Amino acid sequence: MRKSIVWLMIIFGSIFTAGCNSGSKNTDDPSSVLTLTVEAVPIRAGTVEETVSAIGETTVTDEQTIVSPFAGTVVSVNVQPGAPVSSGEKMAVIRTRDSEASITGARRLLADARTKEQKENAQRALEAAQANQQLVPIVAQQKGTVADKLVSAGQAVAEGAELLRLVDLSTLDFVAEVRLADIGSIEVGQTCHIEFPSLPDRKFSGTVVAIEPQSDINSQAVPVRINFGRPSKENGKSLRTGMRGIVEIVTGVREDALLVPQAAVIRDDITGRYHIFTISPDSLAISIPVSTSARIDSLIEISSPTLEAGMSVIVDGSYEAADSMRVTVMRAP
């Protein structure tokens, strides 16, 4: 019985030793190490614009309000909002108050006439009043576009009453509300990039032409006027007054900035910090903390003392990667 127990112990020990040796062999086998297939691109060096962002809207510098030169009655209005007008074009006709009173009185006489003779006399008075009435055309002093029609035919108007409002769209500017904290870096002559939510596929260029000397007490912002430059037919078709937009005012330029695709940058949701994965010469993923700043289309500027242009950065597979994980690299197309 004792011999049987000894033999069982010897057999069990042999099996245990073989199992341990087998496990050790698998651990040392390179084929058993986890390898992640990733896509990588080189870090690029490029030029980055330093900008100040602000919201604002389009407005014109040349706006004209057409008023009635005397009291009278509007006989006709020949233009509608949005219509272009040329210099000298007749836009409306006003009848003087005296002429309106003569015609109104003759019509009243005709309405009150009872006999044939009374009716004939009243009719002649009406025709005379109409023939002698003073009709004054209201003409445009310069070309423009009708922004508002403020009166209608048959309406009585006082002297100086507003009839129409004209704007010259070739003088269209963008007025940005720049925060007081940023106004110190704004100068006349700086280049601007303007976008409008209503025109998502368009980007317009402009130049700072004026900075207001006083800030708005409520918004704590300073109006900055930006000129679109030489007007084009395309701008004339797309831009109108009162369009809200966002402007990027270029305050400086950085050369040799390090740029990577935005897909390469990973944000830690707990710390709020960013990092990327580079690839070591022995094909290991290396996590590098970075700071981010400007964004240019699909690229983002990063900075770190250990990075330089040309180093490979993982763009596909970065969220599955871990520091010091072995990777197989495929170059992104």
Q: What's the average model confidence in pLDDT over 245-274?
A: 93
188 and 248 share one domain:
yes
Using only the alpha carbons of the chain, give its radius of gyration: 40
Q: Look at residue 135 and tell me whether its pLDDT is greater than 50.
A: yes
Residue 206's CATH number:
2.40.30.170
- Does 10 map to a domain? no
CA gap 164, 275 in Å, rounded? 60
Q: Which of 21-25, 136-140, 215-219 has the lowest mean pLDDT?
A: 21-25
Per DSSP, the chain holds a count of helices (H) and strands (E) of: 4, 21
pLDDT for the residue 229: 78
Of the ranges 29-38, 63-72, 82-91, 191-200, which one carries the lowest mean pLDDT score?
29-38
Give yes or no: residues 197 and 56 share one domain: yes
Q: Is the pLDDT of residue 177 over 90?
A: yes
- Strand-pairing partners, residue 211, are 224
Which pLDDT belongs to residue 178?
A: 97
pLDDT at 34: 73
C-alpha span between 309 and 257 (Å, rounded)? 9
- Averaged pLDDT, 321-331: 88
pLDDT of residue 129: 83
Q: Are residues 67 and 163 in the same domain?
A: yes
pLDDT in tens, 32-75: 457 899 999 999 999 888 899 999 999 998 899 999 999 999 99
Average pLDDT on 291-306 reads: 88
Q: Are residues 180 and 229 in the same domain?
A: yes
3-class DSSP state of 257:
strand
CATH code of the domain covering residue 260 = 2.40.420.20
Model pTM score: 0.67
Percent of the chain with pLDDT over 90: 61
Residues 56 and 196 in one domain: yes
pLDDT band at residue 230 under the 50/70/90 scheme: low
Q: What pLDDT is stored for residue 254 in this prediction?
A: 87
For the chain, give the mean pLDDT: 86
The answer on pLDDT for 249 being more than 80 is yes
Nearest to 75 by CA among 137, 160, 142, 165: 137
With respect to residue 173, please indicate whether it lies within any of the assigned structural domains: yes
What average pLDDT does the segment 144-173 reach?
Answer: 93
Range of the domain at 106: 63-167
- The residues near 306 (Cβ < 8 Å, ≥ 6 apart) are 288
How many structural domains does the chain have?
3
Q: Which two tokens stand for residue 209?
A: 């032409």
The fraction of the chain above a pLDDT of 70, given in percent, is 87
Residue 196 lies in a domain: yes
Whole-angstrom distance, CA of residue 307 vs CA of residue 257: 11
Structure tokens at 161: 């009453």
Residue found by looking up tokens 């509300």 in the block:
177
**Any domain includes 235:** yes
Q: Final residue of a domain: which of 253, 272, 298?
A: 253
Q: Please list, residue by residue across 253-277, b when 16 or more beta carbons sit within 10 angstroms of its beta carbon and e when fewer do.
A: eeeebbbbbebbbbeeeeeeebbbb
The torsion region of residue 220 among left (phi > 0), alpha (psi -120 to 50) and beta comes to: left
Q: Are residues 173 and 110 in the same domain?
A: no
